[in-house]
Amino acid sequence: MVFRTFLVAVMAWLVMTATPGVAQTQGAPEVLAQPQRYRIFVFGDKMATGLLAGLWRVLKGNAQYIAYGRLREGSGLARPRYYDWRRAIPKVLDSKPVDIGIILLGANDARNMRVGGKTLLFGSPEWKAAYEQRVADIIEAFRSRNIALFWIGLPPVADAGRNEALKYISGIFRDKAAASGVQFVDIYKAFAGENGGYTDSGFDVSGKFTRLRSRDGVHFIKAGNTRLASLVMDAVRKGVKNRPEPSAAEAAAEPDIDLEGLPLFGRATPQGGAEIVAAKELPGKDHAFAASGVPGAAVVSSLPGQRASVKPGTAAAKLFIDGIWPDVRKGRVDDFSLPQ
């Protein structure tokens, strides 16, 4: 891999200064607007998808914040032809109400970049300059609109070479955030083992020592995403001053989640979260779909009531609230596993 050849060059200056078990926030708190409810918008890749799912759990029942997201799996800043965040983010900020931006990406960026028809080798001075400019462009999109920004650093990963490369990328995020006066939230040591490297386990938000990371050695599972979200919210709360109480109408509002065309109901994410349809997006009893006679229409139209009536911890709660389908008995009519 390209980043392995770069490993020796970066190890000398990559010193992570965070305190073990605690996410470190760098940058003076920004003066935020004072809306009735703070609208958080998460931008990023597959890891950010897990963060957003964790935020929904952490913020459940909290009338002070509401979380949305623009997510694209496999994206980053190194491949704008696949997905260009420098173009996408300003469009979101201009079309949706955003009080607090959260960015988590970069895990896919330890690669060469094509700029102006030329290939820039990962870690070269030219690569670093081009990547820094892309980070600066995104930060400026928030600053020019007076929107608070929290840029999240990257956690340890299992592959040693990739881990050092991602430390290098996180260092760029940290330095550009400091230069621009925005928040950088360093989560590396909060998820590192005793040797300062990768571990798949740690303490969850309840204080239980458990597995936090996916078997791919990069992403988080549900418990890890919830802890990550808790650390991020600790940083966000420190940056918010004089928070007013929300109105009753806003406290009852549902998130308008933007997941870039991904299926929203009944899909458990690889990170341990779930993607579900907001209640307001489901057809009600007077909706034409409910009266159409189409098989399943009555079931779909009754989902809001189902979510309100299910008992916590049951298979029904997992399905209607978390979007996790129950295990299928092998050989049953709904067993679609292969081979038949």
Which pair of structure tokens corresponds to residue 263?
């299926």
Q: What is the pLDDT of residue 188?
A: 97
Interhelix angle 85-95/125-143, nearest 10 degrees:
0
Claim to verify: residue 333 and residue 204 sit in the same structural domain: no
Q: What is the pLDDT of residue 249?
A: 58
Q: Is 28 exposed, middle or buried (0-12, 13-18, 19+ CB in 10 A)?
A: exposed
Residue 155 DSSP one-character state: P
The whole domain housing 160 covers 2-251
Q: What is the pLDDT of residue 335?
A: 67
Q: What is the pLDDT of residue 22?
A: 59
Number of domains into which the chain is organized: 2
Higher pLDDT, 1 or 229: 229
Claim to verify: residue 245 and residue 320 sit in the same structural domain: no
Q: Is the pLDDT of residue 7 over 60?
A: no
Taking the CA of residue 197 as centre, how many other CA atoms within 13 Å lie in the half-sphere pointing to its CB?
9
Assess if residue 332 is contained within a domain.
yes
Average pLDDT, the chain: 78
Assess if residue 129 is contained within a domain.
yes
Q: What is the pLDDT of residue 93?
A: 96
Assess if residue 287 is contained within a domain.
yes
Distance CA 126, CA 195 (A): 33
Higher pLDDT, 245 or 186: 186
Claim to verify: residue 245 and residue 302 sit in the same structural domain: no
pLDDT band for position 306 (cuts 50, 70, 90): low
% of the chain residues with pLDDT over 70: 63
Claim to verify: residue 106 and residue 195 sit in the same structural domain: yes
Distance CA 201, CA 205 (A): 13
Residue labelled with tokens 């940058």: 27
CB 1 within 8 A of CB 108: no
| Residue 277 Cα distances to 79, 235, 320, 322, angstroms | 30, 28, 10, 10
Q: What is the mean pLDDT of residues 126-148?
A: 97
- The DSSP code sequence of 211-243 is E-B-TTSSSB-HHHHHHHHHHHHHHHHHT--SP
Claim to verify: residue 17 and residue 131 sit in the same structural domain: yes
pLDDT band for position 135 (cuts 50, 70, 90): very high
Q: What is the mean pLDDT of residues 133-154?
A: 97
Q: What is the pLDDT of residue 197?
A: 94
Q: 41-45, 132-136, 169-173, 328-332 — which is least confidently predicted?
A: 328-332
Q: Which alpha helices (DSSP H) does the chain contain, by range?
A: 2-5, 7-11, 46-58, 85-95, 125-143, 160-180, 222-238, 248-251, 297-301, 303-309, 315-320
pLDDT band for position 193 (cuts 50, 70, 90): very high
pLDDT band for position 291 (cuts 50, 70, 90): very low
Q: 62-76, 104-118, 133-147, 266-280 — which is least confidently predicted?
A: 266-280
* H-helix or E-strand spanning residue 102: strand 100-104
pLDDT in tens, 88-133: 999 999 999 999 999 999 999 999 999 999 999 999 999 999 999 9
Distance CA 107, CA 271 (A): 15
Claim to verify: residue 247 and residue 320 sit in the same structural domain: no
Backbone angles phi, psi at 266, to 5 degrees: 75, 25
Distance of CA 305 to the CA centre of its chain: 29
CA dihedral 89, 76, 128, 121 (to 10 degrees): -140
pLDDT in tens, 194-214: 999 999 999 999 999 999 999
Claim to verify: residue 88 and residue 39 sit in the same structural domain: yes
Distance CA 134, CA 88 (A): 13
Upstream peptide bond of 339 is cis (omega within 30 degrees of 0): yes
CB 104 within 8 A of CB 56: no
Claim to verify: residue 40 and residue 166 sit in the same structural domain: yes
3-state secondary structure of 148: strand
Assess if residue 214 is contained within a domain.
yes
pLDDT band for position 9 (cuts 50, 70, 90): very low
Distance CA 320, CA 305 (A): 10
